[in-house]
């Protein structure tokens, strides 16, 4: 695993010019089937303003399970869950919610239904579009969904936007390349911490990512393994993916 500890991850703050520094976390939580306490500890230690969740609970009492995770993580539910086929957004009280929308993508017979959890929020003087995704395992469907992601992000009509999730593909794949051609791949723009997100026991591939529109400044982005007081034991126990954490500076403005 590539690891850089030369820089500490910036804390959330509002700058004198009205721009904001925010912490963004992307995390596939495998329907909370593993150690919920370890999962909540990892999220809490990261101190995120926004969490882009994949594989949120989708079945029996899913809202109760998601609300429990939000409470244990000291966050609130923003959008998604079963109504978005798994992607979900959580946020801190720093965010003011303007609107949310859960989007179900076209169903390919024989394949798992996919969707996007989306929202528009204000943090300080910044207005930000958000999209959490979990793209298909099937190559052609995944490529089509990458295009739908870009279209949906643009449709939010915000000055700045963030998309994050489980891409189910490494950076050299054509769907990942399609996203990175239009958006900043935050790991590539500001590498920090670890690179590989799968699997916690043997990290060897980067299939989870945070993307941001061009006006966003990427201060740092990577897997916080071994950093910030996060233990490898908790990372292995929490779920079958490693989280991706980024610090981003978002300009102020409408």
In degrees rounded to 5, what are phi and psi of residue 48? -80, 150
Q: Which of 96, 97, 115, 90 is nearest to 23 (CA)?
A: 90
Please report the pLDDT score of residue 251 as a whole number.
Answer: 97
224-232 contacts at long range (C-beta below 8 A, 24 or more positions apart): 224/9, 224/45, 224/46, 224/193, 224/194, 225/1, 225/3, 225/193, 225/194, 226/3, 226/194, 227/5, 227/9, 227/193, 228/9, 228/45, 228/46, 229/45, 230/42, 230/45, 230/46, 232/200
- CB neighbour burial string for 175-198, b if at least 16 within 10 angstroms, e if fewer: bbebbbebbbbbbebbbbbbbbbb
Q: What is the pTM of this model?
A: 0.96
Mean pLDDT in each 10-residue stretch from start to end of the chain (254 residues)?
Answer: 60 94 98 97 97 96 96 98 98 98 96 97 97 98 98 98 98 98 98 97 97 98 89 97 98 85
Q: Which domains does the chain have, with CATH numbers?
A: 12-250 (3.60.10.10)
Q: What is the pLDDT of residue 115?
A: 98
């Amino acid at each position: 695993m590539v690891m850089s500890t030369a820089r500490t991850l910036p804390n959330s703050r509002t700058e004198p010019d009205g721009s904001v520094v925010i912490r963004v976390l992307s995390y596939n939580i495998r329907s909370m089937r593993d150690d919920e306490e370890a999962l909540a500890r990892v999220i809490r230690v990261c101190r995120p303003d926004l969490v882009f969740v994949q594989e949120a609970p989708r079945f029996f009492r899913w809202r109760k399970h998601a609300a429990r995770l939000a409470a244990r993580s000291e966050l609130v539910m923003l959008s998604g869950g079963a109504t978005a086929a798994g992607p979900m957004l959580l946020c801190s009280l720093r965010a003011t919610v303007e609107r949310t929308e859960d989007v179900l993508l076209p169903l390919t017979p024989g394949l798992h239904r996919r969707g996007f959890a989306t929202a528009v929020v204000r943090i300080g003087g910044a207005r930000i579009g958000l999209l959490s995704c979990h793209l298909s395992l099937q190559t052609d469907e995944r490529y089509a969904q990458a295009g739908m992601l870009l279209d949906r992000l643009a449709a939010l009509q915000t000055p700045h936007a963030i998309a994050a999730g489980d891409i189910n593909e490494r950076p050299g794949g054509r769907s990942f390349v399609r996203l990175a051609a239009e958006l900043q791949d935050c790991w590539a723009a500001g590498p920090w911490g670890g690179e590989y997100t799968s699997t916690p026991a043997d990290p060897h591939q980067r299939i989870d990512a945070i993307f941001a529109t061009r006006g966003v400044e990427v201060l740092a982005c990577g897997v916080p393994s071994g950093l910030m007081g996060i233990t490898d034991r908790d990372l292995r126990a929490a779920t079958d993916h490693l989280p991706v954490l980024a610090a981003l500076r978002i300009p102020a403005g409408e």
